Amino acid sequence: MPWSRCGRTGRCCGNGRWSRCVHMQTLPGCEVGAQASAALTPEQPSTQVTAASVLATLRAAAPAIEQRVPAAHDVDRWHALEIGGRRYRAALPITLTPYASVRPCSARCGFCSENLRSQSGGVAAAQLRPGPAYFDHLQQVLQLLAGVPLSYSLSGLEMTDDAAWLQTLLQTLAHTRNGPQVAQRVLYSNGAGLARSHGQALIDALVDFDLSWIELSRHHPLQAGNDAIMRFRPDEPIAQVDAFVHTANRLALRVPVRLVCIVQQGGVDTAQEIARYLEFARRCGASQVIFRELSRLDAGYRTNGTVRYIEQRRIGVETLLAECMQQPWWPGWTLDGMTQGYYFWNVRLRDAHGMHVVFESADYAAMHARHASGDLYKLVFFANGRLCAGWDPDADILWEPGHG
């Protein structure tokens, strides 16, 4: 599922013809804040203004709005392909995820979307384990996607938990002939394997793979706060805040590091906590911080502990943005732009120190509607050898071993 490790962040306008941007003058935070304040009416308390006007104000003020959903007849943004004798069109930009599920995750976050269960039943992706033919099947899939312009999005459970598997995956993706046309290579990780004894070998392998950046999950800057949220398994070095800071800095010397924080009640849930987290990110050598909202779910999931956790602890990023606009440090921030994705939106800013800061929200109802449209917006290769157009290994099947 998409937003457990980290989800998907909107990339900036470097996608070229794969996105459409409208550019205007970049606005400092003081001007954006003034526009937001002007949008308020005297009878509106600040708690109502959060949802009612902040997002609209930011959209109106954004100097660049990146549209990642192509118009139906925008030929530059659709790629035609054929798989198993069936014709499809893929929306650009599109990502391929070789879903990691070789072993249970080293962390046990209460909100993890890998623990959501579909109303339709079936085996969850997190419960599948790769067999001996896994990499042979992956090679076949890569060759089926020959020439398709895409990016690799490395996620699932924790990619770095099995070092040998990850290194073989990177080799397969890098050296399969007649494969897709790859634009970016991004790893979403809690960093567990990178902090163990073989961590340096994994970092070297990621650099050799030409990783574009890594998104490291850490959901609170303080030890006790993060322990309560991520619940790492015993004896994981990365659980310790000092080990995380050391690992992040070691990574930052080799590849760009972006920290991901899932904002939530009882965690990072105020403007003061946002500011404290940004100080922590600077200690980690990060170039960007992504504050992600707990995903907005639809009725497609059975009620379980994960659903209850998400619903009870969700805090809207609009709420946090509205609170940030009231802080004395906000005038030093700059609004860089916004992204409208196929199931998410985000706001991209820079703080007074030049740190890139993203606030992001995802809507699973929108995601499921796109996946059901017949067009391809996402590609996922599962441990059972299936290539699917979504995060359910039993749905939207494009190819499977022995059947084409």
Query: φ and ψ at 325, to 5 degrees?
Result: -65, -20
Query: φ and ψ at 304, to 5 degrees?
Result: -145, -170
d(CA 21, CA 137): 37
Q: What is the pLDDT of residues 383-395, one digit of tens each?
A: 999 999 999 999 9
Tell me, what's the pLDDT at 224?
Answer: 98
Cβ atoms 131, 72 nearer than 8 A: no
Tell me, what's the pLDDT at 254?
Answer: 98
pLDDT band at 186 (very low <50, low <70, confident <90, very high): very high
CA 124 to chain centre: 20
Alpha-carbon separation of residue 181 from 77, 255, 264 (angstroms): 15, 21, 38
Tell me, what's the pLDDT at 18?
Answer: 52
Tell me, what's the pLDDT at 3?
Answer: 37
Cβ atoms 349, 29 nearer than 8 A: yes
Cβ atoms 22, 65 nearer than 8 A: yes
β-bridge pairing 334-340 and 344-350: antiparallel
> Could you give the domains of the chain?
25-383 (3.20.20)
- The answer, yes or no, to whether residue 80 has pLDDT greater than 60, is yes
User: 279-301 burial, b for 16+ CB within 10 Å, e for fewer?
Assistant: ebbeebbbebbbbbbbbbbeeeb
What does pTM read for this prediction?
A: 0.90
- The answer, yes or no, to whether residue 217 has pLDDT greater than 50, is yes
User: How does DSSP assign 113-159, residue by residue?
Assistant: GGG--BTT----GGG----TTHHHHHHHHHHHTTT-EEEEEE-BS-G
d(CA 14, CA 35): 28
Tell me, what's the pLDDT at 33?
Answer: 54
Please, what is the average pLDDT of the chain?
89
Alpha-carbon separation of residue 194 from 270, 325, 333 (angstroms): 30, 36, 33
Mean pLDDT score, 264-293: 99
pLDDT band at 30 (very low <50, low <70, confident <90, very high): low
